[in-house]
Amino acid sequence: MILSYKEQYREIIKRVYKMGNDKYNQNRGKNPYRVNREPVREPTPSSFAKPGVDFETQRICASCGKVIKIEHNFCKFCGVDLSGIQPLGYSDKTLKELANTALTDSNPGVRKDAVDTLGELGENEVLGIFAYILLNDRDEIVRKEAADELGDAHHPHSLDVLAKALKDPSPIVRKEAIEGLKKIKKKNKPEKKIEAENEEEKASETVENEQEIVVQDDLEDNDEVETEEDALKEIEVEEEDSYEQ
């Protein structure tokens, strides 16, 4: 059926009216640019488990990884004597900034590199940072790096925190903790044990020398006996020759 121009015009008016009427247009008044579903957001990188440490007023125990006051020389949590370890707050600005990065940066790769650099530049004052990271960081690669640095430092205070890391959920962290314990125990043998080992070595060397001397004496005695026997044989031969004549 062919509609006239007037009828077509009326149909268009009706459609426009329906589109603008709330009864027919359920989306009337809504934002035409709004999407039907929420946009997919990229996951944020894993951040450090706890907030940073104020190195001006706080220090971290190298044995248990707990935060205490900077003026305390004994840890109130594990009782270890920290008087031989300088607080990081008394160190230079570079080490403190690196430690802050190792604790708070949102990128695990950056935290790992900061830990590695602290191990190269710092000394005993960074042991607490490594202990704190080993027990608290969310990323296993960062925790593994902290365990590696503690092992390379060879400090006996780190034995306890490495022992705690043996219960870490990550196998690579547990393996690195075992290696760290081996390094520290090998480097820090008790003096009495070392002296006993040295005495045993000296005693064994003395026994070996005495045995060599005894062997040489036996050889010399044998040579003398052989010489006397040869001389007696020569005398007997000469006597026999004289009787025959």
pTM (predicted TM-score): 0.60
CA angle 177, 182, 184 (to 5 degrees): 95
Instruction: Tell me which residue of 101, 135, 137, 98 sits closest to 120, measured CA to CA.
Output: 98
Residue ranges per structural domain of the chain: 58-187
Query: In this predicted structure, what is the pLDDT of residue 233?
Result: 60
Q: Does CATH number 1.25.10.10 belong to domain 58-187?
A: yes
Res 89: pLDDT: 92
Angle at 2 between CA 13 and CA 16, to 5 degrees: 10
Burial level of 34, CB count in 10 A (0-12/13-18/19+)? exposed
Q: Which of 133, 124, 185 is nearest to 161 (CA)?
A: 133
Is-contact 63 160, C-beta < 8 A?
yes
Task: Reduce the secondary structure of 79-104 to three states and give it as a string.
Answer: CCECCCCCCHHHCCHHHHHHHHHHHH
pLDDT values of the chain reduced to their tens digit, one per residue, 245 residues: 566 766 776 777 777 566 555 555 555 555 555 545 544 444 444 444 445 789 999 999 999 999 999 999 999 999 999 999 999 999 999 999 999 999 999 999 999 999 999 999 999 999 999 999 999 999 999 999 999 999 999 999 999 999 999 999 999 999 999 999 999 999 887 655 555 556 666 666 665 666 666 556 555 555 555 555 665 566 555 555 554 55
Say what the pLDDT of residue 42 is.
45
